[in-house]
Structure 1
Amino acid sequence: MKINTEVRGGEKLAKKLKEIQDRLTSKKRVLIGLPAGSGVYEDGTPIAVIGATHEFGGEINHPGGTSYGYATEEDARAGNVRFLPSGKGVMQLGVTGPHKIVIPERSFLRVPLRQNVDNIKKGFSSLAGMVSRGEISAFQMLDQMGARAAGYCKEAIETGIAPPNARSTVRRKGSATPLIHTGHLKNAITHVVED
């Protein structure tokens, strides 16, 4: 935002206008997402890595070797084949060969922020007036808007992001809604105001 001013009427007015201009043009920005150091899952995988995989999608070249078959006698009667932990289940039918696992894109950052761009613009517009009047600082404005934007992203996870979980994931995690199993990812979403 560039502001041009012409000052007439003394040094006091010039100083006040310069203060307003400095508040409005400060070189600060707010970042929304999963910053480095936002935590790790139980297996040591950084939350930011899992978040990036969900945000943009990905592929895993699996070496194979996973057992599959019937976990219980009921599964055998119903013909429900499942992946089996090593040494578990009533009947192993085989072992997977090398294959590619495709993780679909489930944008929990870009899409919710785009969907709420009008709300974000209105918030900035409202708060910019308060900054220009000296009621709050530019940092406070960005901090408030960052918290609001992070909230939009968390809300999107709670309401569900397409595509839904695969049937095998639903059986394992108990939900068709992606990204909510442990809550670690959602809880790690935050904002940072920086120069």
Structure 2
Amino acid sequence: MTLHRRGNLANHLAKIEKGVQGPKAVKVGFPKGKAGADVVSIAVWNHFGTSRGIPARPFITIAMFKNRRQIRAALRKIAEGTVQKGTPIATQMPKLGALGTGMIQDQIAANTPPPNAPSTIRQKGSSRTLIDTGRMRQSVTWEVDK
């Protein structure tokens, strides 16, 4: 992109400045008010573990770490869209939220170790970790941080 005239540069900079206004973050996982308190509790117990025998399976951390290159590429694309085309960051946040949601849902479905205890397998009839009814996985969502 070449901006030869001073007016074009000023207009372009104004467009970029306008594009970076507004929210600059998206919350992914179980944002407050987006999932029931019981689902949030189950997610917290499973992510961090409990002193009562539920081992930590940090599925959100794992999902974000495993996909960090893809997340960086998405952020780069958002920045390029804002700088090159003046696309507002706020209009691009839903794509980032959907991307992160899918990553977390995929990690929940990936049978995150450690394996379930034999008593848990008997109780729920499955050896799949983090999935019993599928409700927690279905409750993963996102929201633009205002």
TM-score range, shorter chain: 0.7 to 0.9
1:20 matched to 2:41: no
Deviation at 1:111, TM superposition (A): 1.2
**Bigger-Rg structure (1/2):** 1
The DSSP-based 3-state class of the residue aligned with 1:164 is coil
Given residue 19 of structure 2, which amino acid in structure 1 is its aligned partner?
A: R
Q: Which residue of 1 aligns with 2:132?
A: 181
1:33 matched to 2:33: no
1:51 matched to 2:47: no
CA deviation string 1:156-192 (max 9, x = no partner): 1112111111101111111111111111111111111
Q: Which residue of 2 aligns with 1:130?
A: 81
Structure 2's unaligned 5+ residue stretches are none
- Looking at both structures, which has the greater relative contact order when contacts are Cα pairs under 8 Å and sequence separation is at least 6? 2
The equivalences for 1:154-173 within 5 A come to 154-173=105-124
Distance 1:126 1:179 in 2: 32
Structure-2 change in CA distance of 1:138 and 1:114 (3 Å): same
Q: Which has the higher helix share?
A: 2
Q: Report % sequence identity.
A: 27
The DSSP-based 3-state class of the residue aligned with 2:53 is strand
Q: Which has the higher strand share?
A: 1
The DSSP-based 3-state class of the residue aligned with 1:192 is strand
1:112 matched to 2:63: yes
CA deviation string 1:110-158 (max 9, x = no partner): 1110111011101111232122233642122221011111101100111
State whether residues 28 and 139 of structure 1, in contact with CA within 8 Å, keep that contact through their aligned partners in structure 2.
yes
Structure 1's unaligned 5+ residue stretches are 1-7, 60-100
Distance 1:17 1:39 in 2: 40
Q: CA RMSD in A?
A: 2.3
Given the two structures, how large is their TM-score scaled by the length of structure 2? 0.85
Q: Which residue of 2 aligns with 1:92?
A: none
State whether residues 38 and 48 of structure 1, in contact with CA within 8 Å, keep that contact through their aligned partners in structure 2.
no
The DSSP-based 3-state class of the residue aligned with 2:106 is helix
- More divergent stretch after superposition (12-21 vs 161-170): 12-21
